[in-house]
Amino acid sequence: MMIDIDLLLACGAAYKKVSAGEIIFQEGAACHFYYQLVSGIVRWVNVDEEGNEYIQTLIDPGECFGEIPLFDEGPYAATAIADEDAVLIRLHRSSFIQLLKDSPEIHFSFTRLLAKRVRFKFLLIKSLALYAPEARIAALINYLKAENKNFCPKCNQLKLTRQQIADMTGLRVETVIRAMRHMHDRGELVIEKGKVFC
């Protein structure tokens, strides 16, 4: 979901540049802003005690992130980190809430976005319960393809690394490589020169 940048600026939003590797906000911190990515890529992750990351999602330009505490006033549920140099636009929480009150169509769009993200989490939880690595990977790929996210629209190439798939499914990268090879052998996806096509 993307709110028109001119509308955000009219409501008092400001641009912010972040460098690759920079933390935008940290899990457990208080929320003060609505964030929308203008350029670059941001990963939204949970980090365990040993420093291992679990990728909740990768944010592309035009998408918002970190929106849950805007509504429930709780802390951030995950950490946002710039994967590459990026430009954000951010709007103070109180101005964002006023924007939603003044624009029911934007509020409805946010409700739909939150419902889609909750549905995705249910899908992942279901695949985790099944435990079969191929089922986890297939659930992730099918969701991303249906949402037209992380795919090349012209050739159906999956634009995620094996490590990113591992971080999104809770699997080890070696398991992802092996499982995707099995999926290729069964005709469920195509691997050519290390690239995955669905």
Query: Which domains are assigned to the chain?
Result: 5-114 (2.60.120.10), 132-197 (1.10.10.10)
Stated as kind and residue range, the H or E segment containing 16 is strand 14-18
Amino acid at 129: A
d(CA 31, CA 129): 31
pLDDT value of position 97: 94
Q: What percent of the chain has pLDDT over 70?
A: 97
d(CA 70, CA 76): 9
Is the pLDDT at 134 greater than 70, yes or no? Answer: yes
d(CA 22, CA 89): 15
d(CA 55, CA 162): 12
Q: Is 52 left (phi over 0), alpha (psi -120 to 50) or beta?
A: beta
Q: Would you give the distance in Å from CA 19 to the centre of its chain?
A: 18
pTM of the model: 0.71
Confidence of residue 128 (pLDDT cuts 50, 70, 90): low
Q: What is the pLDDT of residues 61-84, one digit of tens each?
A: 999 998 889 988 899 999 999 999
Is the pLDDT at 18 greater than 70, yes or no? Answer: yes
Backbone angles phi, psi at 29, to 5 degrees: -80, 160
